[in-house]
């Protein structure tokens, strides 16, 4: 499996707050990397830098060997699923997928429609095709967002706290969909608090603390073996919150 | 005062359609020009601009918001000819109404664009939309939906403000009213009639606005 | 000298009633044209035709199209919430540039002896002064024809004569076409260059008299005016006898 992302000596600060400092990390194709950590540990900032949504203050991020400078450098390679869905409210469910396909990939209408239907079927909201996003539940919205990201056939999909604004049972729906993608071998980078959900399919877990990787390893290692005081503390906290 | 006698207006009733048509032409022409200006100027002003462009746009908006429409009409129609620019009164009326209203509505467009969630830009960027495509396909449709009620208010205002163009040699409703006044000297009957006609026009716009809003509301949260 | 407007065998019927029967006359440019006749003789219809609001059923009116018309009515019809100058300003600001407008207002108020009342409101004016202001307003408003429709009807004789003198003064200052409708023979004789006498039902022209005498020589003691007065009185009296033979 080839190397997809290589991050070396990455640092990022906003004004005089340092969020990430000299961080090194890499992601290979086929990996499903979960990034965990308490609030303010820099996990969202890390993935936003990878996506090109934030500029880096120091170091570099290479995607397929090329430096990530802005979203133009990640287009077509990185798909993003946001905490707040960021669906296009003025497009129907179908159009949320069809329009980008036609605008960006210059796909023909019938082919784009066919593709949208296939993807919507895959995330189980094909029956909402003609409706607007405002009629969807939170879980359905996030599944639509996933389908929209998938449509562009990115090499990697980044999930930035995809279930944080959802009720637990709706979060479960979304993780089911992510789990399906995992089975297909989709490369993913998932920032989440819900460690139980990712235990099942993450190939690697990265624990971030104060802008640095504190410890990383397989889920089994992180959740059962790692002898790291800060990680233990963190896991104790989230165990209560995470049902 | 004498009793109201609307029959004095009857001989002039056949002049009304032309005056109403002029009022509507100026109103609609001005409104369309205002929409175009508002979208272009409003969108541009949400972005980082070359200082010269920024200065010109800001000067335009502030000038037209900071001076009376009547003065603007005088400047355009009576002032420009002294620089060798002579404009037909109808064109002057439409252009001035459009520039004036465009300045106000551009601020509405700007505020509406700024009120669209940042996440929409990020989602579009991640899908590969460039900034033109993002503005035109993702942001503006949402911003304009937000702006529709204010735009329609603006349309009502323009129709009412067309009465000010009676200072130009254009026979719109108010000017016709003034002319009929000079033929009958019955002010109440005339201006009540004119007021009713203006009211019918602006009230129709209100209905149109409500219908439009309902139609455009399907996707609003 | 050219005529401004010509009626050529004009006929007009409103409903069942014949209003005008075979009217032919001309109104000369920059002269005063008087119409005398009993009430209900179709004078209003003639005025509306002159203003281009009414049109003949048969016959032709030449020269009425595109003429600017200014009016004086029986009642002054002033705006009570505007001052004397304000009433003039209200109609003029639409049609004249500010400087020219103010000059004109000053000019007319002076001629009409109203300059001392510039800032008074109409309620402070006598009936005669109000009508003087209405005349002033009509003269000041840009026009090709000035229509005065029995403007002195509600005033007493001395006031009427005074207003007739004022109209003459205004006309002498700037001679323009005036059409003056009255049922008072004396007003017509003092003012008119041409006097058209009408009969009622159906309205017909009884007589058209041309009177070239300069205005400064016109007073009722003048022999010619005296004889014309008698003639016109006779003419109108004969009309009465048509309807009331027992008289």
Contacts of C100 (CB under 8 A, 6+ apart): none
Query: From CA A74, how far away is CA A58, in angstroms rounded?
Result: 18
Q: Which residue of A has its CA nearest to B122?
A: A53
Nearest beta carbon to residue B123 from set A78, A86, A90: A86
Retrieve residue A190's tokens: 């998932």
- Which CA distances in Å does B53 have to A160, B42, B56, B140? 38, 13, 5, 21
Question: Could you state, in order of their start, the residue ranges of all structural domains in chain A?
Answer: 3-241
Q: Do B175 and C54 touch (CB under 8 A)?
A: no
| Section A76-93 average pLDDT | 94
- Which CA distances in Å does C198 have to C33, C42, C179, C207, C226? 13, 9, 14, 7, 20
Q: Does domain A3-241 match CATH 3.40.50.300?
A: yes
Specify the DSSP class assigned to residue A66: E
Predicted pLDDT of residue B191:
92
3-state helix, strand, coil in chain A (%, to 5): 40, 25, 35
Predicted pLDDT of residue C174:
87
Predicted pLDDT of residue C247:
67
Predicted pLDDT of residue C196:
93
Q: Do C91 and B2 touch (CB under 8 A)?
A: no
Homologous superfamily assigned to B23-170: MetI-like (1.10.3720.10)
Which chain C residues are closer than 8 Å to B12 by Cβ? 53
C100 in B contact zone (CB under 8 Å): no
Nearest beta carbon to residue C48 from set B11, B178, B187: B11
How confident is the model over A120-131, as pLDDT tens digits? Answer: 999 999 999 999
Q: Do B185 and C69 touch (CB under 8 A)?
A: no
Q: In the structure, do chain C and chain A come into contact, i.e. share 3 or more CB pairs under 8 Å?
A: no
B14 in A contact zone (CB under 8 Å): no
Predicted pLDDT of residue A237:
81
User: Looking at CA atoms only, how far is residue B76 from chain C in angstroms?
Assistant: 16
Q: Which residue of B has its CA nearest to A100?
A: B127
Q: Do C94 and B187 touch (CB under 8 A)?
A: no
CA-wise closest residue to A14 among A56, A69, A70, A67: A56
Query: From CA A41, how far away is CA A20, in angstroms rounded?
Result: 8
User: Looking at CA atoms only, how far is residue B187 from chain C in angstroms?
Assistant: 8
Nearest beta carbon to residue A86 from set B120, B145, B221: B120
Which chain C residues are closer than 8 Å to B16 by Cβ? none
Retrieve residue B43's tokens: 């969108």
Q: Which residue of B has its CA nearest to A147?
A: B127
- Which CA distances in Å does A43 have to A24, A146, A186, A211, C28? 13, 20, 21, 8, 98
A37: left (phi over 0), alpha (psi -120 to 50) or beta: left
Q: Is the pLDDT of residue A1 over 70?
A: no
Q: Is the pLDDT of residue A240 over 60?
A: no
Specify the DSSP class assigned to residue B166: G
Beta bridge partners of A81: A159
Q: Do B128 and A104 touch (CB under 8 A)?
A: yes
- Which CA distances in Å does A55 have to A41, A47, B132, B161, C26? 18, 11, 21, 49, 91
User: Looking at CA atoms only, how far is residue B138 from chain A in angstroms?
Assistant: 7
Predicted pLDDT of residue C44:
80
pLDDT tens for chain C, residues 1 to 247 = 577 889 999 988 887 888 888 889 999 999 999 999 877 767 888 888 888 888 889 999 888 778 888 999 888 899 999 999 999 999 998 888 888 999 999 999 988 889 899 999 999 998 889 999 999 999 999 899 999 988 888 788 888 888 899 899 989 988 999 999 998 899 999 999 999 998 876 788 888 999 989 988 888 888 888 899 999 988 888 877 777 777 6
Which chain B residues are closer than 8 Å to A148 by Cβ? 127
Q: Do B185 and C94 touch (CB under 8 A)?
A: no
**Chains in touch with B (≥3 Cβ pairs < 8 A):** A, C
Identify whether the C-beta of residue C4 lies closer than 8 Å to the C-beta of residue C154: no
Identify whether the C-beta of residue A139 lies closer than 8 Å to the C-beta of residue A128: no
Q: Do B126 and A78 touch (CB under 8 A)?
A: yes
Question: What's the order of all strands across the beta sheet hosting A58-63?
Answer: A17-28, A3-14, A58-63, A66-67
Task: Using DSSP bridges, classify how beta strands C58-62 and C194-199 pair: parallel, antiparallel or unpaired.
Answer: unpaired
pLDDT band at residue A86, thresholds of 50, 70 and 90? Answer: very high
Q: Do C71 and B184 touch (CB under 8 A)?
A: yes
Nearest beta carbon to residue B220 from set A86, A92, A134: A134
Residue A79 half-sphere exposure toward CB, CA atoms < 13 A: 21
Question: Could you state, in order of their start, the residue ranges of all structural domains in chain B?
Answer: 23-170
CA-wise closest residue to A10 among A30, A27, A28: A27
Q: Which residue of B has its CA nearest to A152?
A: B127
Helix axes of C98-111 and C84-92: crossing angle, nearest 10 degrees: 140
The domains located in chain C, with CATH, are 1-41+53-67+147-154+179-247 (3.40.50.300)
Q: Do B187 and C54 touch (CB under 8 A)?
A: no
Predicted pLDDT of residue C17:
80
Specify the DSSP class assigned to residue A86: -
C15: left (phi over 0), alpha (psi -120 to 50) or beta: left
How confident is the model over A124-173, as pLDDT tens digits? Answer: 999 999 999 999 999 999 999 999 999 999 999 999 999 888 888 888 88
B130 in C contact zone (CB under 8 Å): no
pLDDT band at residue A243, thresholds of 50, 70 and 90? Answer: very low
Q: Do A80 and B122 touch (CB under 8 A)?
A: yes
Q: What is the mean pLDDT of chain A?
A: 90
Pairs from B72-77 (Cβ < 8 Å, separation ≥ 24): B72/B96, B72/B99, B72/B100, B73/B164, B73/B165, B73/B167, B73/B168, B74/B167, B77/B168
Q: Which residue of C has its CA nearest to B164?
A: C94
Predicted pLDDT of residue C210:
93
Identify whether the C-beta of residue A47 lies closer than 8 Å to the C-beta of residue A66: no
Q: Higher pLDDT residue, A60 or B1?
A: A60
B115 in A contact zone (CB under 8 Å): no
B10 in C contact zone (CB under 8 Å): no
3-state DSSP of chain C: CCEEEEEEEEEEEECCEEEEEEEEEEEECCCEEEEECCCCCCHHHHHHHHCCCCCCCEEEEECCCCCCEEEECCCCCCCCCCCHHHHHHHHHCCCCCHHHHHHHHHHHHHHCCCHHHCCCCHHHCCHHHHHHHHHHHHHHCCCCEEEEECCCCCCCHHHHHHHHHHHHHHHHHCCCEEEEEECCHHHHHHHCCEEEEEECCCEEEEEEEECCCCHHHCCCCCHHHHHHHHHHHHHHHHHHHHHCCCC
Nearest beta carbon to residue B218 from set A51, A99, A132: A132
Identify whether the C-beta of residue C10 lies closer than 8 Å to the C-beta of residue C59: yes
Identify whether the C-beta of residue A174 lies closer than 8 Å to the C-beta of residue A188: no
Predicted pLDDT of residue B2:
55
The stretches in chain B having pLDDT less than 70 are: 1-2, 221
CA-wise closest residue to C14 among C37, C38, C42: C42
Q: Which residue of B has its CA nearest to A72?
A: B128
DSSP string, A198-221: HHTT-SEEEEEETTEEEEEE-HHI
Q: Which residue is listed with tokens 């900071």?
A: B66
Predicted pLDDT of residue A241:
54
What's the angle, vertex CA A163, arms to CA A162 and CA A169, rounded to 5?
A: 145
Nearest beta carbon to residue C141 from set B166, B182, B184: B182
What's the angle, vertex CA A182, arms to CA A180 and CA A184, rounded to 5?
A: 80
Predicted pLDDT of residue C64:
79
Retrieve residue C238's tokens: 């004969």
Q: Do A100 and B128 touch (CB under 8 A)?
A: yes
B14 in C contact zone (CB under 8 Å): no
Residue B189, number of CB atoms within 10 A of its CB: 17
């Amino acid at each position: 499996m080839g190397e997809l992302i290589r991050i070396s000596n990455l640092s990022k600060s906003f004004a005089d707050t340092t969020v990430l400092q000299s961080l090194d990390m890499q992601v290979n194709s086929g990996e499903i990397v979960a990034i965990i950590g308490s609030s303010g540990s820099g996990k969202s900032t890390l993935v936003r830098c990878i996506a090109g949504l934030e500029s880096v203050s120091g170091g570099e991020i290479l995607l397929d060997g090329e430096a990530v400078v802005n979203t133009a450098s990640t287009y077509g390679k990185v798909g993003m699923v946001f905490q707040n869905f960021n669906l296009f409210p003025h497009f129907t469910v179908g159009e949320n997928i069809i329009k980008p396909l036609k605008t960006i990939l210059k796909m023909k209408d019938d082919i784009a429609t066919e593709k949208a239907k296939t993807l919507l079927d895959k995330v189980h909201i094909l029956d909402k095709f003609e409706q607007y996003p405002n009629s969807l539940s939170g879980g359905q919205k996030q599944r639509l967002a996933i389908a929209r990201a998938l449509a562009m056939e990115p090499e990697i999909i980044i999930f930035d706290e995809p279930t944080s604004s959802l009720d637990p049972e709706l979060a479960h729906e979304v993780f089911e969909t992510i789990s399906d993608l995992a089975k297909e071998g989709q490369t993913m980078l998932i920032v989440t608090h819900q460690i139980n959900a990712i235990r099942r399919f993450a190939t690697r877990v990265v624990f971030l603390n104060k802008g640095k990787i504190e410890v990383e390893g397989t889920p089994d290692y992180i959740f059962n073996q790692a002898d790291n005081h800060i990680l233990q503390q963190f896991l104790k906290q989230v165990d209560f919150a995470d049902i | 005062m004498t009793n109201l006698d609307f029959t004095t207006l009857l001989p002039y009733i056949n002049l009304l359609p032309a005056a109403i048509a002029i009022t509507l032409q100026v109103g609609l022409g001005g409104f369309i020009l205002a929409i175009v200006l508002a979208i272009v100027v409003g969108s541009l002003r949400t972005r980082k601009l070359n200082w010269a462009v920024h200065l010109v746009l800001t000067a335009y908006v502030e000038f037209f918001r900071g001076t009376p429409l009547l003065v603007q009409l005088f400047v355009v129609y009576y002032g420009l000819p002294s620089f060798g620019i002579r404009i037909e009164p109808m064109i002057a009326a439409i252009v001035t109404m459009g520039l004036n209203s465009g300045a106000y509505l551009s601020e509405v467009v700007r505020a509406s664009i700024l009120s669209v969630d940042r996440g929409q830009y990020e989602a579009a960027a991640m899908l590969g939309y460039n900034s033109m495509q993002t503005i035109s396909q993702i942001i503006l449709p949402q911003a304009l939906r937000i702006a529709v009620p204010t735009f329609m208010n603006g349309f009502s205002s323009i129709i009412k403000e067309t009465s000010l163009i009676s200072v130009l040699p254009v026979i719109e409703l108010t000017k016709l009213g003034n002319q009929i006044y000079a033929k009958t000297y019955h002010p109440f009957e005339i201006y009540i009639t004119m007021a009713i006609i203006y009211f019918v026009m602006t009230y129709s716009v209100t209905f149109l606005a409500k219908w439009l809003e309902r139609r455009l509301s399907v996707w609003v949260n | 000298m050219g005529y401004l407007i010509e009626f050529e065998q004009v006929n007009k019927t409103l409903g069942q009633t014949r209003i005008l029967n075979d009217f032919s006359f001309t109104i000369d440019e920059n002269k005063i044209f008087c119409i005398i006749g009993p009430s209900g003789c179709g004078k209003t219809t003639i005025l509306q035709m002159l203003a281009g609001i009414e049109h003949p059923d048969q016959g032709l009116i030449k020269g009425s199209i595109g003429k600017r018309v200014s009016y004086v009515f029986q009642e002054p019809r002033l705006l009570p919430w505007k001052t004397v100058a304000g009433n003039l300003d209200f109609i003029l600001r639409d049609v004249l540039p500010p400087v020219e407008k103010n000059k004109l207002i000053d000019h007319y108020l002076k001629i009409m002896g109203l300059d001392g009342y510039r800032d008074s409101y109409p309620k402070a004016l006598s009936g005669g002064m109000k009508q003087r202001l209405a005349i002033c307003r009509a003269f000041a408003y840009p026009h090709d024809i000035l229509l005065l429709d029995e403007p002195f009807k509600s005033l007493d004789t001395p006031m009427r004569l005074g207003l007739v003198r004022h109209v003459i003064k205004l006309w002498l200052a700037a001679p323009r076409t005036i059409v003056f409708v009255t049922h008072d023979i004396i007003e017509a004789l003092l003012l008119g260059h041409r006097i058209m006498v009408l009969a009622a039902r159906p309205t017909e022209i009884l007589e058209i008299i041309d009177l070239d005498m300069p205005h400064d020589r016109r007073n009722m003691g003048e022999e010619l005016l005296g004889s014309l007065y008698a003639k016109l009185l006779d003419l109108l009296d004969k009309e009465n006898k048509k309807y009331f033979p027992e008289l």
